[in-house]
Amino acid sequence: MALTMDELDFGPPDYKEMLPETLKRNYGKWIYHELIKPGVFKHVSSTGDEVYTVRSGQPKFIASSTVLKLCDLADKYCEGSLRFTSKHSIEWIVPKKDDVDKLIEELKKLGLPIGGTGNAMHSIVQCTGWVHCHTPATDAPGIAKAVYDELISYFQRDDLPARLNIAVSGCLNMCGAIHCSDIAVLGVHRRPPKVNDEVVSKACEIPTMIASCPTYAIKPNPKAKSIRIDANKCMYCGICYSICPGVPIADAKNDGVSIWVGGKVSNTRSGPAFSRLAVPYLPNNPPRWPEVVEVVKKIVETWASEAKPHERMGEWISRIGWPAFFDKTGLEFTDKHIDDYIFSIRDMRVGARIRGREMK
């Protein structure tokens, strides 16, 4: 028996049922925190209570049998509660200092890496990709895994110039709002969708499709009760496909990956900023995406060795200038890097203020 209308719409369970006892007791009373070692920090309350938080990575898609193992550890060390962060790490909140290293040993046995705090590489925000989505041009979880495997030491230590946020999204829908990350890896389509008139006429709302297109590339095709797509206007965003199965856009030959750098969301220092295009296209090369991993690694290593303390990727690039960024990373600057879409003129450098190194 389905629930009646009166029984629906009740919302999430109360957070007070979810919090560990120590946090409930000290709610709103915390006065400072300090990093103890990579992956572990301590919070101190005005009541004198302390808690230790151990942060671990996770596979993101988890088997329920593994969830039960996480619960066992949380019961043993964390007062029967565990928490996920907005970047999908797991936080293990431990009231007893002596339990911290014991917990870490057990997490290591489960294969969960410890880290992602302070000036480290934080957990990689990622969409579902080819695991379970119909629109992606690439497999975000597969790329995230390959990047993690290569850069895991940066997750486990915290001696980078500042924090490093990497995010991966499979298509221009950008689930996870990856467009403000230090490094964003974004799946891209490069050909317009192919229109299947029969499916469009049967399964899709044509006015909605026309309205959805950001570049007004979709026009009605009344004869076929379908639409046509102006290939000169389409910029392959795929939003029409996300609402209509009759315009498939996936293309094994041309789909691939773009890389963006220098974004951030926090208000600290220079404030929020978008990521900017670094590499317009790299091929899809599953299962390990070596070309993508190589570029990400090169960018991280260049920043890590050249940035001054507290400089996020974008702050470092602002200081040295974009010509130096392309020079130092060896990435090619192409016509695709100059915005010709909406805000193009705002991105041009006005006047004649050129750094010495930019004239060489």
Partner 1 sequence: MSDTPLLDEAEKGPWPSLVTEIKKTGFKGLLKIYELAYEDKVTHWTHGGMVGYPGYDAGVIGRLSDRHDILRDCHTIRMIQPAAWFYSTKKLRKLVEIWNKYSYGLMNFHGATGDFQLIGIETDKIEPFFDEVSKEHWDIGGSAGDFRTASCCIGPARCEMALIDTLDIYQTLMSDEEILNDMHRPRFPYKFKVKIAGCPTDCIAGVARADLLVVGTWRDNIKINQEEVRKYAEKGVDIGLIASKCPGNAMQWDGEELKIDNDNCMRCMFCLQKMSKALRPGDDRGATLVMGGRARGRYGAFLGWVLMPFIKLEKPYEELKDLIYKLIDWWDENGRTKERIGETIYRLGAGKFLKETGLKPHPAMVQAPRNNPFWFYWPGEVEE
Q: Binding of partner 1 at residue 338 (CB under 8 A)?
A: no
- Work out whether strand 40-45 and strand 50-56 pair parallel, antiparallel, or are unpaired: antiparallel
Residue 88 or 297 with smaller CB distance to partner 1: 88
Q: Binding of partner 1 at residue 265 (CB under 8 A)?
A: yes
Tokens of 200: 């469009």
Indicate which single residue of 114, 121, 166, 178 sits in contact with partner 1 (rule: CB under 8 A): 178
Q: How far is the CB of 360 from partner 1 (least distance, A)?
A: 29
Indicate which single residue of 3, 231, 350, 352 sits in contact with partner 1 (rule: CB under 8 A): 3
What residue spans of 234-343 are helical by DSSP H?
A: 239-243, 290-306, 313-320, 322-329
Q: Footprint of partner 1 on residues 28-67 (CB under 8 A)?
A: 28, 30-34, 43, 51, 53, 57-67
Q: Binding of partner 1 at residue 131 (CB under 8 A)?
A: yes
Q: Which stretch binds partner 1 (CB under 8 A): 224-232, 316-324, 339-347, 348-356?
A: 339-347
Each residue 217-256 as x (binds partner 1 by CB under 8 A) or -, in order, gives --------------------x-x---x-x----xxx--x-
Indicate which single residue of 224, 270, 336, 354 sits in contact with partner 1 (rule: CB under 8 A): 270
Is residue 254 within 8 A of residue 190, CB to CB? The reply is: yes
Q: Which stretch binds partner 1 (CB under 8 A): 69-77, 294-302, 324-332, 348-356?
A: 69-77
Q: Binding of partner 1 at residue 185 (CB under 8 A)?
A: no
What b-and-e string marks burial along 205-220, b requiring 16 or more CB atoms within 10 Å of the CB? ebeebeebbeeebbee
Q: Which stretch binds partner 1 (CB under 8 A): 97-105, 219-227, 323-331, 338-346?
A: 338-346
3-state per-residue secondary structure call for 128-176: CHHHCCCCCCCCHHHHHHHHHHHHHHHHHCCCCCCCECEEEECCCCCCC
Indicate which single residue of 8, 348, 350, 359 sits in contact with partner 1 (rule: CB under 8 A): 8
Tell me the longest C-alpha to C-alpha distance in the chain.
Answer: 76
Q: Footprint of partner 1 on residues 137-156 (CB under 8 A)?
A: 139, 141-142, 145-146, 148-149, 152
Q: Binding of partner 1 at residue 322 (CB under 8 A)?
A: no
Q: Binding of partner 1 at residue 349 (CB under 8 A)?
A: no
Residue 207 or 356 with smaller CB distance to partner 1: 207
Q: Binding of partner 1 at residue 320 (CB under 8 A)?
A: no
Which residues contact residue 264 at a Cβ distance below 8 angstroms, ignoring those fewer than 6 apart?
165, 180, 181, 182, 270, 271, 272, 273, 312, 313, 314
Distance CA 136, CA 77 (A): 39
CA-nearest of 264, 248, 259, 274 to 326 is 259
Tokens of 308: 């001054």
Phi-psi region of 289 (alpha: psi -120 to 50; beta: other; left: phi over 0): left
Residue 143 or 329 with smaller CB distance to partner 1: 143
First to last CA, the chain: 75
Q: Binding of partner 1 at residue 127 (CB under 8 A)?
A: yes
Q: How far is the CB of 96 from partner 1 (least distance, A)?
A: 16
What distances in angstroms separate CA 241 from CA 208, 218, 231, 311, one per listed residue?
Answer: 12, 12, 15, 40
Residue 24 or 298 with smaller CB distance to partner 1: 24
Binding residue count for partner 1, defined by CB under 8 A: 117
Q: How far is the CB of 60 from partner 1 (least distance, A)?
A: 6
